[in-house]
Structure 1
Amino acid sequence: MQYRLFCSIICAGLALGTAPLLSHEFWIEPEKYQVPIGTVVVARLRNGQQFKGAEQPYLDHRIARFEVVQNGSATAYEGRMGDMPAFAADEEGDGLAVIIHQTQPQMLIYDTWEDFQAFIDHKGFAGIPSQHHALGLPDAGFAEQYTRYAKAMIAIGSGAGSDQDTGLETEIVALANPYTDDLSSGLPVQVLYQGKPRPQAQVEIFAKAPDGSISISTMPTDARGEAVIPVTPGHSYLLDAVVLRPAPEGQDYVWESLWAALTFAVPAP
């Protein structure tokens, strides 16, 4: 048992360590997006592509913030080292609960320019190559630091309530409640960076149908950092938006990426 746990922890570390290089997303996946009051809420941390990924254990040295926000108050969550699922808690309060998970910064090295180009192309950073070369940076062997900021919305009981700015350096805020509001025109969201709207940010949309099939699309935010995400009843969603910025002077890495993710479901009629 100890050997299996050790292997799962090492494999999780390797998966997280190479994630942005392969344009992997990191998200919180609730076992159920709607639960009765008093139910144990279970959620998994996942890392992968196309809304499919390996489950990650609870690793306290990789966590900067792990909380549940409900009815305007935040409660810190503490699990046990190696827990899978990483989150399991009795949630007694009625209303919308938002699980927040922020990782500690991690580092990777780009061995080739092609790896970096694939990442920036996928995430829509058209101006980065010219900026990279203007800074006199090498085409290979350079490092990037990355941090994940994941949120998941779960309806407990009535599911009433609203998402909010939780103070993450970057995050996606739902401007409507997917469990109680009319989403016939889509779910409005806002992408924030350092507490301010992020205009012209690429939002990647992963939609999972009841049969498990995945569709992927992208949408830019407007001047207010907002976008209206088309949604379909019975589907679950992962939204992703990435900030890429030059590293502060004097660091041993040259780029920083900040990954915001939001997961939720739209109830079937």
Structure 2
Amino acid sequence: MTHLSFRSTLTILLFLFCSPGFTHEAWLEPFEYHLKKSSQVRGHIRVGQMFSGSTQLYIKDKFKRFESIHQGKERKVKGRLGDLPAIKHTLRKKGLHTLVYQSTGSIISYPNWEKFQSFTTNEGVEWAQQAHLDRGLPKEDFKESFVRYAKSLVTWKGNQGSDSVTDMPFEIVALNNPYLDHVSTLKVKVLWQGQPYEDGQLTIFKKAKDIATERSILLLDERGTAEVPLTQGFSYLLNSVLMEPIDGGKNTPVWRSHWASMTFEIPPQTK
């Protein structure tokens, strides 16, 4: 294959794998959340709905941060352009690690008002509908930019450790370790610019083999916190969305949505 045809093929693949369509959840999905032998965590960046979605390639231009954090120390998740799976990262210390991914901005267009209504209602930010009208913005053919902030809790040869604030603009922080024995709930805090995302919505997806994905909603309190019930044998995706009005025009975005997610897996009970 010539160099030119290789680049053309890669360009087509990047478009197929990375075109966002309408904004959906984005998350990190390791093949194994709990590594026993090999210290290399492998997995996908996914975009979709109901904890099911398309895989994304490793493309440096698509992210601002991609790293693992263990006891406050950060290590970049490295890769080559077009790698799939996008996560191939060796953990160097035993215990709990947080994988962190922050995307660059992308833009979508809303062809009609119904799409915007459906999205904002589903994500608990329906206040944006009236705010949109109050700003005198059009009800069709307007643009929105969006940024994604994803975290995943993984372990290697032990469960000790904790999640931490990563200083991403919008993020979900685990306030306790869901992998410790006798833990039945995970308390989380959602932060926007370092402050509690009070009264926001936290959407919870849980799935297990041969069981349909379940979706539920919790409302964050004035401290931006919520407590998530845990079930053994299930993997979880937590998601929260924040809408930010921005100055724009016909050809530039008038909204910016921020998407925070966190994934983890509660192993089945061992006999």
Equivalent residue runs for 1:1-269 within 5 Å: 2=6, 5-14=10-19, 16=20, 18-20=21-23, 24-36=24-36, 38-184=38-184, 186-248=185-247, 252-269=252-269
How far off its partner does 1:27 sit? Answer: 0.4
SS of the residue 2:158 aligns to: coil
**Structure 1 residues 181 and 135, CA, compared in 2 at 3 Å: closer, same or farther?**
farther
Shift of 1:211: 2.2
Percent identity of equivalent pairs: 37
1:37 offset after TM fit, Å? 5.8
Preserved contact between residue 171 and residue 260 of structure 1 (Cα < 8 Å)? yes
Q: Distance in 1 between matches of 2:259 and 2:13?
A: 24
Separation in structure 2 between the aligned mates of residue 137 and residue 60 of structure 1, nearest angstrom:
34
3-state SS, counterpart of residue 82 of structure 1: coil
- What CA distance in whole angstroms lies between the structure 2 residues aligned with 1:78 and 1:248? 35
Aligned amino acid, residue 175 of structure 2: L
- AA aligned to 2:163 is D
The 4+ residue runs of structure 1 with deviation greater than 6 A are: none
Instruction: Give the TM-score of the pair, scaled to structure 2.
Output: 0.92
| Structure 1 residue ranges without an equivalent (≥5) | none
Q: For 1:6 and 1:128, locate their aligned partners in 2 and report how far apart those are by CA, in whole Å.
A: 36
Q: Which moved more, 1:41-50 or 1:241-250?
A: 241-250
State the secondary structure of the residue aligned to 2:268.
coil
- The 8 Å contact of residues 78 and 89 in structure 2, kept in 1 or not, is answered as no
Give, in whole Å, the separation in 2 of the partners of 1:83 and 1:27.
Answer: 17
Shift of 1:210: 3.0
Partner Cα distance (1:210, 1:177) in 2: 23
For 1:7, what is the secondary structure of its paired residue? helix
State the shift of 1:126 in Å.
2.7
* C-alpha distance in 2 between matches for 1:174 and 1:93: 20
CA distance in 2, matches of 1:13, 1:157: 34
| Contact 2:44-2:87 within 8 A present in 1 as well | yes
Matched letter for residue 246 of structure 1: P
SS of residue paired to 2:119: helix
CA RMSD of aligned residues (A): 1.7
Q: CA deviation at 1:38?
A: 4.5
Unpaired runs of at least 5, structure 2: none
